[in-house]
A and B are shown apart, each in its own frame.
Chain A
Amino acid sequence: MKPLVLLALMLGFFPLPVAAMHISEGILPGGWAILWFVVAAPFVAWGGWRINQRRAIDPGYISLVGIFGAAVFVFSCFPLPVPVAGSTAHPAGTGLSAILLGGPASVVVAFISLLLQALFLAHGGLTTLGGNTFSMGVVGSFSGLAAFKLARLCQGNLFWSGFAAGVASDLLTYLGTATEMALALHGNTPLLTVLGQIYLAFMPTQVPISILEGVIIGGMLVYVRKHRPDILCKLKIITAEER
């Protein structure tokens, strides 16, 4: 309990202006910016519909949306210094929200977080909101969820399955960002060359951050099982025997 409380306090009380993974305002050309909006919009709509549907079945679901929605917002504007890379970056948090809220709902919380950051925190951008929602919301959420389910299928325990989700969602979010940039800006240079260069440039910072994110998600799931196993049972993450 204490480490989690300390983490929450750290996140809540030491927010700092952050410059991290989101694609900044104006970097994507108009056509690409519109395309990513069009691609991300159905996922956001699907997520909104799923949240309403689940809220009707279980009113307690909104409390979970409150916790993990706020967590995604705070995580994704919290800069962590990585000495080996000499730069800062932030976790995405969408792996955690995807496991506990569901993939579509996680896209919605990512979208709202990114919108608030673009509007008020000079972080990301309104023209790049679709692209950022796709990489952090759609790719981050669904890759984290897939890694978690795969790890559970392979009999991974809760901590290591959460760890896999954290690492996968973080690293693949940045792959999404690198892909969006490479597709839009590669020009005459081969696409894969540009993609590889951008993605590799992210790695020295993102590998340590993804490990941290994995530990946080694994720890959080273990905490939930200890204190509210019924939530994980309801979400079919653990069976009644595992409680």
Chain B
Amino acid sequence: MKRFLLAVLFMLLPLPASAAASKWPGVDEAVVEKFAAQLGRTAREPYLNTDQGDLLLFVFALAGGGGGFIMGYYWHKVFIVKQDLCLKDGED
């Protein structure tokens, strides 16, 4: 069953995000902003608008790198270093 689910997921997500993100709208554009416009509200520019050329790519790269680093740092601490300590405790 788990293999079947994974197979379904891979069929549903065959394209790399980089190829698709530039062509396809996000659901906020396709749903949230579309319905809001139909109901008389339009989105306004963010107060701190980083959506200017490659600046947004830069901040996303920075955010992804920072988030990935924090996650990896604590992952190592919890699942690698502490696992060894727990195994030693278990042997005692």
Measured CB to CB, the residues of A under 8 A from B are: 8-9, 11-29, 60, 63-64, 66-67, 69-71, 73-74, 77-84, 86-89, 116, 118-122, 125-126, 159, 177, 181, 184-187, 189, 194, 197-198, 201-202, 205-206, 208, 211-212, 215, 224, 227-228, 230-231
Q: Which residues of B in the span 3-49 have a Cβ within 8 Å of any Cβ on A?
A: 5-6, 8-9, 12-21, 24-36, 39-49
- The residues of A that contact B50 with a CB separation of less than 8 Å are 120-122
**Interface of chain B, main secondary structure:** helix
Assess the B26–A88 pair: CB atoms within 8 A: yes
Give B contacts to A, CB under 8 Å. 2, 5-6, 8-9, 12-21, 24-36, 39-51, 56-57, 59-61, 63-65, 67-75, 77-79, 82-83, 86
Q: When A and B form their complex, which 5 residue pairs have the shortest distance between CB atoms, in order from nearest?
A: A12-B68, A15-B64, A19-B26, A81-B20, A26-B44
Partner of B78, one of A11, A63, A187: A63
Could you tell me if A185 and B21 are in contact, using CB atoms closer than 8 angstroms?
Answer: no
Are A12 and B63 closer than 8 Å at their CB atoms?
no
Shortest CB distance B91–A (Å): 14
> Once the chains bind, are B44 and A88 in contact (CB under 8 Å)?
no
Cβ–Cβ < 8 Å partners of A16 in chain B: 17-18, 21, 57, 60
Name the residue on B nearest A15 (C-beta).
B64
Give min CB distance, B69 to chain A, whole Å: 8
- Judging by beta carbons under 8 Å apart, are A82 and B25 in contact? no
| Distance (whole angstroms) from the CB of A226 to the closest CB of chain B | 10
Give, as a whole number of angstroms, the nearest-CB distance from B24 to chain A: 5
- The contact sample of 5 A-B pairs, CB cut-off 8 A, is A8-B68, A25-B44, A70-B70, A87-B24, A228-B83
B-side contacts of A189, CB under 8 Å: 39
Q: List chain A residues, Cβ under 8 A from B46.
A: 25, 118, 122, 125-126
Q: Do B40 and A8 have beta carbons less than 8 Å apart?
A: no
State whether A187 touches B40 (Cβ < 8 A): yes
Q: Please, how many angstroms separate the alpha-carbon atoms of A230 and B86 in the complex?
A: 8
Docked-complex contact A121 and B63, CB < 8 angstroms: yes
**Cα–Cα, bound, A27→B21 (Å):** 23
Query: Interface centre among B17, B27, B72, by most A CB within 10 Å?
Result: B27
Closest Cβ of chain B: how far from A67's Cβ, in Å? Answer: 4
Instruction: Name B39's closest neighbour in chain A (CB-CB).
Output: A185
Contacts A16-B18, A24-B43, A201-B31 given: A120-B78 contact, CB under 8 Å?
no
